[in-house]
Amino acid sequence: MLGRILCIGAGAMGGAILRGALEKGVITSNELLVTVRTEEHARTLEEELGISVTTPLPDWKTDGFDTILLAVKPQVLPHVLVNLKEIPPHTTCISIAAGITLHTLESALPQADWYRAMPNMPAAVGAGMTALAAGQNASLEVTEQVQALFSAIGQVEVVSEMDLDRLGALSGAGPGYAFLMMDALADAGVRIGLPRALAIKAAAQTLLGAGMMATKTGTHPAILRDQVTSPGGTTIAGILAMEKGGLRSAIHDGIIACYERSNELGKS
């Protein structure tokens, strides 16, 4: 088991992980301590989740914890790592900070068993996609437990670190692309006469439904596309217009640009 857990940081993503894991019973409140920056945030989490929350630990007393979840931003993580120098050997440490490599993490705290996780925004509604990469000291047993933790907020894939960074450009940033497409679909609906609220609802439900069809059937998206495009029909006319506008190549270019930027940040 992950044992006694210390969660450092509980913003949007950290909070989503805690809510999902507590709701699904993957962790319990009596084996969890959360530390956040402000007393106001601490009180809010205590009232909402019924857990123990504190502001930064006095003198960073971290003994007694089997697992440490580092749910802080990349620019904050180096400061946190400095204060964790005395953690016991084989403490399971999980970082969700984008761009901070396993090599960097293991160099900072070589005694820890490291994992990198990259969940995405829909984790907040239990529909996330998390890429999980294990460090050199990780065991199969603990990896399965960490995987179960993130399964509480959606789908999880254990991958190489290179694929974790690639998935960051696809699924990590993907909700941003989806919201952009959703907004464009809704705008087009308004242009042809739909009320704004109805256009947004239809666009959101359409993207949700298409995603569910792909995941539940396991059918290649090109085949699903063919199933909805009748010969000489309306859908193929719309697809042709979008392809002429460069939709497919624009999506390709966007994901590549995101991946390259992530690599730049990781190096810096």
72 marked as binding residue: yes
Query: Does some domain include residue 230?
Result: yes
C-alpha span between 168 and 118 (Å, rounded):
7
- The 10s digit of each residue's pLDDT in 10-50 is 999 999 999 999 999 999 999 999 999 899 999 999 999 99
Pairing of strands 67-70, 92-95: parallel
Residue span of the structural domain in which 146 resides: 5-160
Crossing angle of helices 12-24 and 140-151, rounded to 10°: 100
**pTM listed for this prediction:** 0.89
Q: Note whether 16 and 123 are within 8 A (CB).
A: yes
For residues 68 and 179, membership in a common domain is answered with no
Q: For residue 94, is it within any domain?
A: yes
Are both 112 and 155 inside the same structural domain? yes
Residues 14 and 74 in one domain: yes
Residue 166 lies in a domain: no
Three-class SS state of 26: coil
Query: pLDDT at position 205, please?
Result: 98
Whether residue 165 is contained in a domain is answered as no
Alpha helices in 83-195 (DSSP H): 102-108, 140-151, 161-167, 174-191
The CATH number that applies at residue 128 is 3.40.50.720
Strand order in the sheet with 67-70: 52-54, 32-35, 5-8, 67-70, 92-95, 113-118, 128-134, 154-158
Instruction: Give dist(CA 165, CA 169) in Å, integer.
Output: 7
In the prediction, which pLDDT does 67 show?
96
* 12 annotated to a ligand binding site: yes
Residue 9, marked binder: yes
Residue 168 lies in a domain: no
134 annotated to a ligand binding site:
no
Instruction: Say how far residue 190 (Cα) sits from the centre of its chain.
Output: 32
- Which residues, 6 or more positions from 66, have their beta carbon under 8 angstroms from its beta carbon? 1, 2, 3, 4, 5, 91, 92
Beta strand residue intervals within the chain, DSSP E: 5-8, 32-35, 52-54, 67-70, 92-95, 113-118, 128-134, 154-158
Residues 106 and 197 in one domain: no
Handedness of CA 37, 58, 6, 143 (dihedral sign): positive
167 falls within a domain:
no
Asked if residue 141 and residue 11 are part of one domain, the reply reads yes
In a domain, 129, yes or no: yes
Burial 166-199 (b: 16+ CB within 10 A, else e): bbbbbbbbbbebbeeebeebbeebeeeebeeeeb
What backbone phi and psi angles, to 5 degrees, belong to 176? -65, -40
13 known ligand binder = yes
Eight-state DSSP code of residue 129: E
Examine the domain organization and report whether 227 and 132 are in the same domain.
no
> Which two three-digit tokens encode residue 96?
């969700």
71 marked as part of a ligand binding site: yes
pLDDT (0 to 100) of residue 153 = 97
1 contact partners, CB below 8 Å, separation of at least 6 = 66, 145
The stretches in the chain having pLDDT less than 70 are 1, 57-61, 268
Q: State yes or no: 153 annotated in a binding site.
A: no
Same domain, 53 and 78: yes
- Does any domain span residue 61? yes
16 is in an annotated binding site: no
Whichever domain contains 191, its CATH number is 1.10.3730.10
Counted domains in the chain? 2
134 & 182 share domain: no
